[in-house]
Structure 1
Amino acid sequence: MGSTATTTVPTNGELMEALAAVGAAYFQDFAAAASRHGLSSSQAKALGAVQEPVPMRALAGRLGCDASNVTGIVDRLESLGLAHREAAAGDRRVKIVVITEQGREILGLIRGEMIRTHQAIGTMTDEQRVALHSVCVQVLPVLSGRTAP
């Protein structure tokens, strides 16, 4: 008689803990890479959030902070030449944040220097990569509040 491997289905709590641990480790790797380029993790995250032009208020929502905090973040990005603000075409009171080419380059360097993240992903088979991507695409809209569960 051969033995059959049994798989225990993780509880919601176990999945939440694993997801939190992976998220925290990813964030630490991201923050370390950002700091090597003189950016806080919030500033680097803002660069990632403005791959297309984004209104300041929407950027605050994407970053999970108050609009007043975004002003300081964008001020720093502007001073470094990584992003700039422009008035919205329909309402000049609304300011749109636009990433610069230099900002895109720095963001690419940060992502490229996330060594632990690249090592972790490198341990996965193609099938695991496809499965992980599929799971992320499935749960992200619900986690971000863009769709009902």
Structure 2
Amino acid sequence: MAQVTTALRHRQGVAFAQLGLTPAMARALHELDPDLPLPARALAERLGCDRSNVTMLVDRLEQAGLVQRHTDPTDRRQKTLVVTGEGCGVRDRVTEVMSDSRLLSGLTDRELSTLRDLVRKMSDGDRSEPCVPE
């Protein structure tokens, strides 16, 4: 599993770097909906990180011309994050990179099904009871 994760991260990291992004910047951009401005605190919640980290990520995305901060018309104290036109194109490419399944292309349908079932089992996705230490 670690080898698969390492291979995926490496491929994604190379592709993100070609877009001028770090993996963290790519994930932040991916979480933003171009049609729905989002407060930075909501992005921090989605990413599961501290707002100060999100501020740094948004600064970098803004410097790259991918995101803009706008004043929220309903609360002028709050800034919302808006994906720019250029950011939409880069975000689409990030989504493609995150969806790339070339690592799985050599597997048969049966192998893919088995892999899916094993990953679910490992991640506790098919248990109806909460996981309790024994």
TM superposition score category, shorter chain reference: 0.5 to 0.7
Residue in structure 2 matching 1:50, options 32, 39, 47: 32
Task: Structure 1 unaligned segments of length 5 or more: list them.
Answer: 1-17, 140-147
Maintained 8 Å contact 1:33/1:111: no
For normalisation by structure 1, the TM-score amounts to 0.62
Relative to structure 1, the CA distance from residue 92 to residue 26 in structure 2 (aligned partners, 3 Å threshold; closer, same or farther) is farther
Task: Structure 2 unaligned segments of length 5 or more: list them.
Answer: none
C-alpha separation in 2, matches of 1:101 and 1:124: 37
C-alpha separation in 1, matches of 2:26 and 2:63: 14
Paired position in structure 2 for 1:66: 50
State the secondary structure of the residue aligned to 1:38: coil
**By how many angstroms is 1:42 displaced?**
0.9
Q: Which has the higher strand share?
A: 2
Q: How many residues align?
A: 120
Runs (4 or more) in structure 1 with deviation over 6 Å come to: none
Relative to structure 1, the CA distance from residue 105 to residue 124 in structure 2 (aligned partners, 3 Å threshold; closer, same or farther) is farther
Residue in structure 2 matching 1:120, options 103, 110, 113: 103
**By how many angstroms is 1:95 displaced?**
1.6
Maintained 8 Å contact 2:30/2:95: no
**By how many angstroms is 1:27 displaced?**
2.9
Rg bigger for which structure?
1
